[in-house]
């Protein structure tokens, strides 16, 4: 609730209360595949669209499987914003109208990071999944995030040419904020050249590439105790890659942290922002991520 109010206030403030909301009939219906895109689209539309992200809060949007009814809702939308790079595995088995699909990362699709040779595993109630193929957290390279935001804005303008000025203004504001974060992360990267880091999950490829982080990944879950094999794997990695920090998507269990501490590893959280956070909005989350990452300095 707090986060929603914050979002509304932010939108109202940034537009200077100058946007006039049209009748409900004129509202664009936009469906997205992750929270990042929902945030971007909501910021840019400035209230002139209904931006829906139906995945449950506790689900991983990459591996979430919508129901048939939800797929039908996607089909009826005016725009369907995709992340690209193989994000949202359910798309390969679903039928969506091509005319409404927007691959927000197509501008840099030639620079997708291919991944492979990672171990498959099974975990938790959502079943097993694999991180082979293409790295998909494209927005963690904030230059790429800007390109994704621009792609969204371009499509919105094509649908509502009359609101071009509004959309471009909103995009401009968002871009500045993304640039600011990009700068801070660049600074962190420059100040920590080659420092070995470990990621609990292989979702930081673009972050590592853009900001020059020396990162190796395992495939652990924050709320699950790693197995002996997984600990052994980590130890093996540390032999050649003596990391002092492990980056997590969310706060790991105390037990895991303690055992990591025994290996001389501290934990920090860098939430990729794929789903809606407990509190705050996406930008709050990223700023928090930056602050957390500064610990490695």
Residue ranges in contact with another protein by CB under 8 A: 65, 68, 71-72, 75, 89, 92-99
Q: How far is the CB of 37 from another protein (least distance, A)?
A: 20
Q: How far is the CB of 75 from another protein (least distance, A)?
A: 6
Q: At what angle do helices 164-191 and 282-293 cross, to 10 degrees?
A: 10
Give SS3 for 51: strand
Burial 130-144 (b: 16+ CB within 10 A, else e): ebeebbbbbbbbbeb
Cβ proximity to another protein: between 127 and 194 the closer is 127
Which of 105, 287, 132, 290 lies closest to 202, judged by CA? 132
Q: How far apart are CA 248 and CA 270, in angstroms?
A: 6
Cβ proximity to another protein: between 116 and 194 the closer is 116
End-to-end CA distance of the chain: 35
Q: How far apart are CA 261 and CA 267, in angstroms?
A: 8
Cβ proximity to another protein: between 1 and 99 the closer is 99
Cβ proximity to another protein: between 112 and 142 the closer is 112
Backbone φ, ψ for residue 257 (5° rounding): -60, -40
Q: How far is the CB of 62 from another protein (least distance, A)?
A: 13
Q: How far is the CB of 94 from another protein (least distance, A)?
A: 6
Q: How far is the CB of 72 from another protein (least distance, A)?
A: 6
Token pair of 153, please?
């804005």
Give SS3 for 247: strand
Cβ proximity to another protein: between 99 and 240 the closer is 99
Cβ proximity to another protein: between 105 and 256 the closer is 105
8-state DSSP, 168 = H
Q: How far is the CB of 259 from another protein (least distance, A)?
A: 33
């Amino acid at each position: 609730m707090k986060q929603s109010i914050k979002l509304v206030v932010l939108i109202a403030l940034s537009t200077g209360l100058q946007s006039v909301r049209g009748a409900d009939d004129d509202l664009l219906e936009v469906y997205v595949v992750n929270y990042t895109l929902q945030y971007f689209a909501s910021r840019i539309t400035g209230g002139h669209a209904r931006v829906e992200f139906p995945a449950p809060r506790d689900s991983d949007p990459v591996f979430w499987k919508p129901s048939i009814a939800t797929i039908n809702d996607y089909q009826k939308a005016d725009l369907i914003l995709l992340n690209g790079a193989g994000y949202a595995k359910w798309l390969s088995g679903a039928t969506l109208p091509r005319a409404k699909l927007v691959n927000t990362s197509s501008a840099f699709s030639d620079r997708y990071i291919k991944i492979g040779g990672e171990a498959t595993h099974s975990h938790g109630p959502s079943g097993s999944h694999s991180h082979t193929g293409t790295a998909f957290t494209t927005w963690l390279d904030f230059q790429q995030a800007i390109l994704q935001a621009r792609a969204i804005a371009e499509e919105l303008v094509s649908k509502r040419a009359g609101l071009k000025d509004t959309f471009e203004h909103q995009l401009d504001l968002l871009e500045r904020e993304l640039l600011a974060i990009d700068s801070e992360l660049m600074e962190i990267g420059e100040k920590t050249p080659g420092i070995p880091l470990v990621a609990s999950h292989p979702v930081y490829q673009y972050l590592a590439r853009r900001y020059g982080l020396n990162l190796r990944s395992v495939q652990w879950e924050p709320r699950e105790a790693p197995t002996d094999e997984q600990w052994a794997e980590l130890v093996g990695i540390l032999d050649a890659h003596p990391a002092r920090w492990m980056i997590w998507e969310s706060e790991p269990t105390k037990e895991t942290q303690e055992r990591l501490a025994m290996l001389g590893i501290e934990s920090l959280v860098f939430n990729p922002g794929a789903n809606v956070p407990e509190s705050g909005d996406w930008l709050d989350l990223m700023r928090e991520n930056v602050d957390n990452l500064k610990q490695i300095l």
